[in-house]
Amino acid sequence: MELLERLKALSDAFGVAGHEDEVRELIRGMASPYVDSIEVDPLGNLICSRGEGPTVMLDAHMDEVGFLVRWIEKDGFIRITPVGGWDERLLLGHRVVIRARNGKKVKGIIGATPPHILSQEERKKAVPLEDLFVDVGAKSREEVEEMGIAIGSPLTIHYPCEPLRGGYVTGKAFDDRVGCLGALEALRITAEEELPYKLVVNFATGEELGLRGAKAAAYRINPRVALAIEGTIGADVPGIPEAKQPTRLGAGPAITVADRSIVVRPKMVEFLEAVAREEGIPFQYKLPTYGGTDAGAIHLERGGILAGVVSVPCRYIHSPVSLLYLPDLEATVKLVVGFLRRAEGLLR
């Protein structure tokens, strides 16, 4: 599989936070040729291990933002509640996929009161999430239930991953399927190398619910050093001054100095800078203090863990569709591989 094919497979997979099964099985198949062991912990984290010695951990989260069914109207319309952070302005009129109890996917559309019958004042306002509903073409609650849809069924907005032009790619769930792909590529590229430590890659659950999976996994893995790989906020768009753009597409991987969940120790920041310079990788800094990552949970476990973050800039994350620049993804993979080849230096 080429890089773009692997990205498409991961992006298109269904994995609303707390319901990551499909993504986990896909990643299990991709990772298994390159590791010695794979286990799934009680929270659903997929933990892949190789080698012996002190532990270095990579982390990327499998889950994506989505919704749960919170009520089914008697006439077959479905009310929803968010899982993770959504911008309510962007939801109306989009296609969704609901995973039914039997595992089948049911397609629907997010609807609301037609604008033709709204007042001028009402048309100017974003439709509150509680007023939105999903239309699956059903005439009754019983018909919806016969589809296997119930209270708590997960759903998300779904558009297929596809290339645009000039290296740009669009798709859903780039936060954080690009991180998962980065970790998988690092495993594949270093598969024949004898790294002088135990490498454990955690594909985490529940990041969008408050870094939950990574917290439990980090306690279990007990690494000396950890690196989280993320898809982060690319904001190089009209109307946003450079000083407020956390990252920019085309400028390479972003090294986190600080965000809302962690202040990265200078030792780690300088190490990542040195790796990038030695490998000839263009890089940027993610401007503080936007967002948070699994590193925020990881670095506080046990007696404290030296942790850092590298990210792929992605425009429009936590919206119906995102956009990235493939050379940024490729450079991020190269940075993670360079990190692994030198990580022994952080263990001393």
Whether residue 30 lies inside any domain: the answer is: yes
The neighbour count for residue 71, using CB atoms within 10 Å, is: 12
pLDDT on residue 320 = 92
Q: How many domains does the chain have?
A: 2
Q: Residues 54, 177: one domain?
A: yes
127-155 pLDDT, tens digit per residue, is 888 889 999 999 999 999 999 999 999 99
pLDDT on residue 118 = 65
Whether residue 303 lies inside any domain: the answer is: yes
Whether residue 49 lies inside any domain: the answer is: yes
The neighbour count for residue 32, using CB atoms within 10 Å, is: 12
Q: Residues 108, 207: one domain?
A: no
Q: Residues 149, 12: one domain?
A: no
Whether residue 86 lies inside any domain: the answer is: yes
Reported as a pLDDT band with limits 50, 70 and 90, residue 243 is very high
Q: What is the CATH number of the domain that holds 137?
A: 2.40.30.40
Whether residue 114 lies inside any domain: the answer is: yes
Q: Residues 9, 150: one domain?
A: no
pLDDT on residue 348 = 84
Q: Residues 116, 179: one domain?
A: no
pLDDT on residue 122 = 64
Q: Residues 252, 270: one domain?
A: yes
28-38 pLDDT, tens digit per residue, is 999 999 999 99
79-122 pLDDT, tens digit per residue, is 999 999 998 888 988 999 999 999 999 999 998 776 666 667 76
**Of 157, 181, 208, which one is at a domain's C-terminal end?**
157
Catalytic residues: 207
Q: Residues 125, 196: one domain?
A: no
Whether residue 250 lies inside any domain: the answer is: yes
Sequence-separated (6 or more) residues with CB below 8 Å from residue 162: 8, 169, 170, 171
Reported as a pLDDT band with limits 50, 70 and 90, residue 212 is very high
Q: Residues 99, 150: one domain?
A: yes
Whether residue 40 lies inside any domain: the answer is: yes
**Of 157, 184, 213, which one is at a domain's C-terminal end?**
157
Q: What is the CATH number of the domain that holds 26?
A: 3.40.630.10
Q: Which amino acid is at 98?
A: I
In contact, 251 and 284? CB cutoff 8 Å = yes
Whether residue 293 lies inside any domain: the answer is: yes
Inter-CA distances, 183 with 37, 180, 196, 253, Å: 16, 5, 18, 14
Q: Residues 105, 222: one domain?
A: no
pLDDT on residue 115 = 66
Q: How far apart are CA 208 and CA 293, in angstroms?
A: 9
Q: How far apart are CA 130 and CA 84, in angstroms?
A: 15
250-309 pLDDT, tens digit per residue, is 999 999 999 999 999 999 999 999 999 999 999 999 999 888 999 999 999 999 999 999
Range of the domain at 286: 3-64+172-347
Q: Residues 198, 114: one domain?
A: no
pLDDT on residue 75 = 97
Q: Residues 192, 288: one domain?
A: yes
Q: Residues 112, 151: one domain?
A: yes
Averaged pLDDT of the chain: 95
**Of 157, 182, 214, which one is at a domain's C-terminal end?**
157
309-321 pLDDT, tens digit per residue, is 999 999 999 999 9
